[in-house]
């Protein structure tokens, strides 16, 4: 291990400008690993606990789906020193290691779990916080984390490894310039992200108003019996779809993936209403031909059917087509003469259906949550009249198209930023 790390340091830091110091990371950075909490400590409310699942690969934090809390009494008694502070930078240290995000006031109060390490500079006059954020996302840190990571079933690194890592330290003015350049990209991406969230929220509110509260256009003149408006009907999902089925992993698993080619969508890419670009895998034409039965088409609904992300659901974005899915993701393709994909997506993601699917997935004492094809085929949906469905699809589809444009812009911005970051860090491009 030592020889590998020494070679890595030599190749990564050897060509730095002389004014860039290469120093032990812990000389400049305070870090703290979270405690190893146990399942019996979880409560329904209290102090929210952040873990690796809450950090997205795009640098954002999603606390909307967290279900981990410990009691406020236990936090105050045992874990107050694990509270996260505004401005802290958090990094995942197990599972998908190296996801990085910055904590803001709106995320708090919050504490860490053992899968997350928080960082901040010892002295802001020698290490800029924005520069540290950039460094931790750069290959200079990420490759060190990967080289030190241990574990067969799940990779992880910890304090003992951080104490052996290095940080590049340009003069403070250059640190701030690098941070400013990278944050300009981050700000554009974040602003687009906010617009995406607002468009998504508009579609969700419209669905709730029309199909949950039943205040749809013309509702005043429609008779409602036992909560079902006249002209609406309960249908099985299989009666509305032309395809319901999951995919497969190419022979060789992750070792058979490529850096480019046909997109292979996995469960890590699927969130409720949202598609996460980072972590996409690619396969070649021959591999894709063998998976032709699970080709993804425009407006297909993708549903996670196993693991911790079970029941997460979104519509595939056009920018990643052609594509295939692996065995953890199910394709739901609607018959447009029967029902539209946006209505079905919102129905699956509605509270009523989401709770039902999660309950089914967790039933039976299985060690891994799962949904079967039979369960999804027999899912009952209340389907409105064709005229109302068409109205909703037109509005929700327009909002979805706008989100796709913004998401594509963010993908391009992220690629440009990630290409520029290592060149700034190495001094190849002057800050």
Give pLDDT tens digits for 151-169: 877 888 888 999 999 999 9
Non-local (6+) Cβ contacts of 305 within 8 A are 246, 328, 329, 330, 370, 371, 372, 376
CA distance 321 to 314: 15
Q: Are the beta carbons of 359 and 369 closer than 8 angstroms? A: no
Which residues of the chain have a pLDDT value below 70?
Answer: 1-14, 57-58, 64-67, 364-368
Residue-level pLDDT at 14:
63
Residue-level pLDDT at 3:
34
The residue to which tokens 């949904």 are assigned: 371
Residue-level pLDDT at 279:
78
Shortest CA distance to 255 belongs to which of 276, 278, 281, 279?
281
User: Within its chain, how far is the Cα of 17 from the centroid?
Assistant: 36
Exposed e or buried b per residue across 225-244, where buried means at least 16 C-beta atoms within 10 angstroms of its C-beta: eeeebeebeeeebeebbeeb
Residue-level pLDDT at 119:
94
HSE-CB at 32 with a 13 A cutoff on CA atoms is 18
Residue 317: CB atoms within 10 A of its CB come to: 19
Identify whether 285 is preceded by a cis peptide bond (ω within 30 of 0). no
Residue-level pLDDT at 10:
45
209: left (phi over 0), alpha (psi -120 to 50) or beta: alpha
Burial of 39: CB neighbours in 10 Å, binned 0-12, 13-18, 19+: exposed
CA distance 381 to 236: 6
The residue to which tokens 């990630």 are assigned: 418
Q: Are the beta carbons of 82 and 111 closer than 8 angstroms? A: yes
Residue-level pLDDT at 367:
59
Q: Residues 277-290: pLDDT tens digits?
A: 877 899 999 999 98
Residue-level pLDDT at 150:
87
Residue-level pLDDT at 12:
63
Residue-level pLDDT at 392:
97
């Amino acid at each position: 291990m030592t020889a590998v790390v020494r070679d890595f340091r030599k190749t990564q830091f050897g060509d730095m400008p002389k004014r860039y110091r290469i120093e032990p990371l812990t000389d400049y950075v305070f870090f703290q690993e979270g405690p190893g909490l146990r399942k019996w400590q979880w409560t329904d409310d209290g102090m929210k606990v952040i873990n690796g699942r809450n950090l997205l690969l795009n640098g954002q934090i999603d606390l909307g789906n967290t279900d981990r809390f410990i009691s406020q009494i236990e936090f105050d008694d045992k874990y107050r020193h694990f509270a996260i502070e505004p401005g802290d930078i958090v990094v995942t240290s197990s599972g998908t290691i190296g996801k990085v995000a910055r904590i803001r006031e709106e995320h708090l109060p919050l504490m860490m779990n053992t899968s997350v390490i928080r960082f901040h500079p010892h002295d802001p006059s020698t290490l800029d916080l924005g520069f540290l954020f950039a460094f931790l996302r750069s290959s200079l840190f990420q490759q060190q984390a990967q080289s030190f990571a241990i574990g067969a079933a799940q990779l992880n690194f910890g304090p003992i490894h951080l104490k052996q890592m290095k940080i590049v330290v340009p003069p403070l003015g250059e640190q701030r310039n690098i941070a400013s350049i990278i944050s300009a990209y981050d700000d554009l991406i974040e602003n687009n992200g906010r617009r995406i969230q607002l468009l998504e929220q508009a579609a969700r509110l419209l669905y709730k108003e029309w199909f949950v509260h039943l205040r749809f256009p013309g509702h005043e003149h429609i008779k409602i019996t036992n909560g079902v408006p006249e002209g609406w009907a309960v249908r099985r999902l299989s009666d509305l779809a032309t395809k319901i089925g999951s995919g497969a992993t190419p022979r060789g698993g992750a070792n058979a993936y490529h850096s480019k080619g046909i997109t292979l969508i996995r469960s890590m890419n699927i969130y409720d209403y949202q598609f996460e670009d980072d972590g996409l895998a690619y396969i070649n034409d021959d591999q894709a031909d063998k998976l032709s039965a699970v080709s993804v088409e425009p407006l297909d609904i993708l549903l996670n059917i196993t693991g911790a992300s079970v029941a997460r659901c979104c519509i595939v974005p056009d920018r990643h087509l052609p594509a295939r899915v692996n065995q953890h993701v199910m394709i739901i393709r609607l018959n447009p003469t029967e029902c539209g994909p946006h209505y079905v997506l919102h129905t699956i993601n509605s509270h009523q259906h989401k709770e039902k699917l999660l309950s089914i997935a967790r039933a039976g004492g299985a060690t891994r949550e799962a949904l079967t094809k039979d369960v999804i085929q027999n899912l009952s949906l209340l389907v409105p009249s064709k005229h109302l469905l068409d109205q909703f699809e037109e509005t929700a589809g327009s909002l979805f198209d706008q989100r796709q444009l913004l998401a594509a812009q963010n993908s391009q911005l992220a690629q440009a930023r990630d290409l520029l970051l290592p060149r700034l860090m190495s001094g190849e491009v002057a800050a």
